[in-house]
Amino acid sequence: MFALIVLFLVALAAGALGGLVGTGSSLVLLPILRTMYGPRIALPIMGIAAVMANVGRVAAWWRQICWRPVLAYALPGTPAAVIGAHTLLTISQTLVDGVLGLFFLAMVPVRRIVAARQWRVRLWQLTIAGAVVGFLTGLILSTGPLSVPVFTGYGLGGGAFLGSEAASSLVVYTGKMATFGEFGALTGTVVVRGLVIGAALMIGPFLARGIVRRVSPAHLCALDRPGVAGRRRGHARRRMDPVRASSAR
């Protein structure tokens, strides 16, 4: 019980971080859960929590969501996530450990490369990114560092970015969790732990919403500097008007 209370408090802080920059919750919690329970249990727990976290972000920013990029990303991403989850549940635990370790190590240079390239993403490119990141989401879970530059590269910022990224992730995670349920990975204990952590993650975006409204998009990017900082000022100004940026495509 004490461990679950500690996890709740850590998840509360992780949820606030995710509410600010759109990612980071899984990166904070997944290594802790993996150490405590092992990858086979940690990933379904974090999957339930991630669904609830994204529900919280969608609720917080519902009116600012841009649905065109959400659908372009999520429609190919959901079946890809199902394939990724199926792969996760059928390979050995040792291989899962290795894949998780390599992924976290690769995130450091990958995020720096993405930031340096300053990519501009079009609607059709969102579809390709959704399929690739969706598969990785099913296999690994913590792919926020990859989806963030995709949506900011499309021209979204502030609440529009946070809500749209969360809405697309919610659809993708739903496909993954359905696969977990089919394979019997969602036991009662896993569900309870996931709900406790997810409740904390849902509160986080509402704690951070006031900060997001007061801080400029450029400063929000600075909070996630390895991933999306360094983009041109003109692109930051473009993200300040996400509706116009979306309609321009």
Rounded CA gap, 156 and 241, in Å? 8
Q: What is the mean pLDDT of each run of 10 residues along the chain (249 residues)?
A: 82 75 71 82 87 85 93 95 90 77 69 66 90 88 76 87 91 91 89 89 72 57 46 43 44
Counted domains in the chain: 1
Number of neighbours of residue 222 by Cβ within 10 angstroms: 14
How would you label 90-102 residue by residue, b for 16+ Cβ within 10 Å and e otherwise?
A: eeeeeebeebbee
* Cβ atoms of 134 and 78 closer than 8 Å: yes
pLDDT at 214: 62
What is this structure's pTM? Answer: 0.71
pLDDT at 220: 52
DSSP 90: H
pLDDT at 226: 43
Rounded CA gap, 191 and 186, in Å? 6
Provide the residue type at 239 as one letter: R
Structural domain including 31 reads 2-247
DSSP 189: H
pLDDT at 148: 81
**Token duo for residue 52:** 């609830």
pLDDT at 139: 84
pLDDT at 23: 63
pLDDT at 70: 95
